[in-house]
Amino acid sequence: MLREKTVSERNCASGSVRRVVGLMSGTSVDGVDAAVVELSGNAESTELGRVIFERIPYSPELRGKVLALMLPETSRVDDICRMNFVLGEVFADATLQVIRAAGLEADDIDLIGSHGQTIYHIPNAETCCGITTRSTLQIGEPAIIAERTGITTVADFRMRDVAAGGQGAPLVPYADYILLRDAEKSRVIQNIGGIGNLTLLPAGCSLDEVIAFDTGPGNMVIDAVVSIITCGELEFDESGKIAASGNVVPDLLDWALSHPFFRKAPPKTTGREEFGSHFTKEMVERAQAEGISDCDLVATATALTAESIVESYKKWVLPNCKLDQVVIGGGGSYNGALIDMLRKGLPEVDVMVHEDLGISSDAKEAIAFAILANDAVCGCFTNVPKATGARHGVVLGKIIPSLSRECEDS
């Protein structure tokens, strides 16, 4: 039994279309992904309708401040306190912007699902004050979002999974299962955001059979290397042009792939704590010591992402499943050099993008949090325990009601 029935679930099952705003800001810290998503039903019976998507980029100042929060050396508790509310306002503005873009008003929206901005993630249990726990922290205060928009807001999706013994991540595999499972074909949905993560949907699978884990860095190391070699002028390798003009340096690639994360068996998740500025700094220093050119360094950082993905499939996917399709998503799907490397590493598999299956790759994660919010108010279990390591299924998300609107109505 994967979900329990509640009064709200019975209401949700009525089949009426609900408009839900999904908000996501990933580890790349490039901006807020916001989508108005029309949904009916819930859980496995969810039907996806119209999607209107906007990406609202962060200003360089805001991005810098958020990135500073993520590093213990540069993070301050007063900044965390302040930025929780600043990002709450940013997410509220993004919500109102995407609602306008959809030609709608706040009153037309039933619900918001906001992932927030992860600023720290400790997926492996640690003992502190005699208490052993994992932990994770997303900011972007949902009370601000609910107050500014007058819309019930669901947020803090990761906490309940951690409480149930999980890593609190990955969460998108639930939406992958709802949207992209197939009766005939076995698919991997490969997201390449700041971090890379995969969801394996074996042909005809049930939710219990979904496998998902982080493969390692997605764009995170590529972005950081590009920023260092261009003295901050470029934030990423547009279309993978720099990587395509360089050659992969095997010794440097071997060093990068020797990171212990790649040897760990799933379930596993990672973040800037492992592949952030410390890792990149060492990689750049090694490249400089060896006289490696900038283009070769970017090519090698790109190969790190590609190789870690291909190796993950070889170790943990292909031995158990004949794979038909790999469906790429996230910003990395625009990096031609990276996609070429993946195609070469997986010659037997059809490598495609979300658009080939009728889903916007840009909007997919925002859609995922709209689905999670919809199922939260319906009382459905939405974690994938096999992927997060949780002891059991749980309803993810804390619900901030739109009190002002309900008071007006009564």
Ligand X SMILES: Nc1ncnc2c1ncn2[C@@H]1O[C@H](COP(=O)(O)OP(=O)(O)O)[C@@H](O)[C@H]1O
Rank residues 12 and 212 by Cβ distance to ligand X and give the closer one: 212
Query: From the CB of 194, what's the least distance to Mg ion, in Å?
Result: 7
Query: From the CB of 357, what's the least distance to ligand X, in Å?
Result: 17
Rank residues 186 and 361 by Cβ distance to ligand X and give the closer one: 361
φ and ψ of 118, to 5 deg: -65, 125
Answer yes or no: are the C-beta atoms of 328 and 351 closer than 8 Å.
yes
The neighbouring-strand residues paired with 121 are 136
| Residue 113 touches which of Mg ion, ligand X, none (Cβ within 5-8 Å per kind) | none
Q: How far apart are CA 160 and CA 176, in angstroms?
A: 20
Q: Sign of the C-alpha dihedral, residues 241, 247, 249, 253?
A: positive
Chain residues binding ligand X by CB under 6 A are 26-28, 30, 193-194, 219, 223, 236-240, 330-332, 334-335
Rank residues 28 and 46 by Cβ distance to Mg ion and give the closer one: 28
The number of angstroms, rounded, from the C-alpha of 56 to the middle of its chain's C-alpha atoms is 16
| Residue 219 touches which of Mg ion, ligand X, none (Cβ within 5-8 Å per kind) | ligand X
Answer yes or no: are the C-beta atoms of 18 and 45 closer than 8 Å.
no
Query: From the CB of 279, what's the least distance to ligand X, in Å?
Result: 16
Number of amino acids touching Mg ion (CB under 5 A): 3
φ and ψ of 46, to 5 deg: -60, 130
Which CA distances in Å does 339 have to 303, 329, 363?
10, 11, 19
| Residue 141 touches which of ligand X, Mg ion, none (Cβ within 5-8 Å per kind) | none
Query: From the CB of 362, what's the least distance to ligand X, in Å?
Result: 8
| Residue 153 touches which of Mg ion, ligand X, none (Cβ within 5-8 Å per kind) | none
Rank residues 53 and 334 by Cβ distance to ligand X and give the closer one: 334
E-strand stretches of 223-370: 325-329, 350-353
| Residue 332 touches which of Mg ion, ligand X, none (Cβ within 5-8 Å per kind) | ligand X
The number of angstroms, rounded, from the C-alpha of 68 to the middle of its chain's C-alpha atoms is 20
Query: From the CB of 316, what's the least distance to ligand X, in Å?
Result: 22
Q: How far apart are CA 309 and CA 251, in angstroms?
A: 19
Q: Sign of the C-alpha dihedral, residues 180, 186, 191, 195?
A: positive
**Among 242, 252, 244, CA closest to 290:** 252
Query: From the CB of 114, what's the least distance to ligand X, in Å?
Result: 14
Taking residue 250's Cβ as centre, other Cβ atoms within 10 Å add up to 10
Query: From the CB of 275, what's the least distance to ligand X, in Å?
Result: 12
Query: From the CB of 206, what's the least distance to ligand X, in Å?
Result: 27
Using CB atoms, what's the residue nearest to Mg ion? 26
Rank residues 188 and 400 by Cβ distance to ligand X and give the closer one: 188
Rank residues 61 and 408 by Cβ distance to Mg ion and give the closer one: 61
Rank residues 31 and 202 by Cβ distance to Mg ion and give the closer one: 31
Interface with Mg ion in residues 9-68 (CB under 5 A) = 26, 28, 30
| Residue 237 touches which of ligand X, Mg ion, none (Cβ within 5-8 Å per kind) | ligand X
Sheet holding 325-329, edge to edge: 211-217, 195-201, 187-192, 325-329, 350-353
In a 13 Å sphere around the CA of 173, the CA atoms on its Cβ side amount to 32
**Among 352, 351, 259, 364, CA closest to 305:** 259
In a 13 Å sphere around the CA of 122, the CA atoms on its Cβ side amount to 11
Rank residues 267 and 271 by Cβ distance to ligand X and give the closer one: 271
Using CB atoms, what's the residue nearest to ligand X? 331
Query: From the CB of 241, what's the least distance to ligand X, in Å?
Result: 8
| Residue 271 touches which of Mg ion, ligand X, none (Cβ within 5-8 Å per kind) | none
**Among 336, 386, 329, CA closest to 355:** 329
Rank residues 3 and 115 by Cβ distance to ligand X and give the closer one: 115
| Residue 330 touches which of ligand X, Mg ion, none (Cβ within 5-8 Å per kind) | ligand X
Binding positions for Mg ion, rule: CB under 5 A: 26, 28, 30
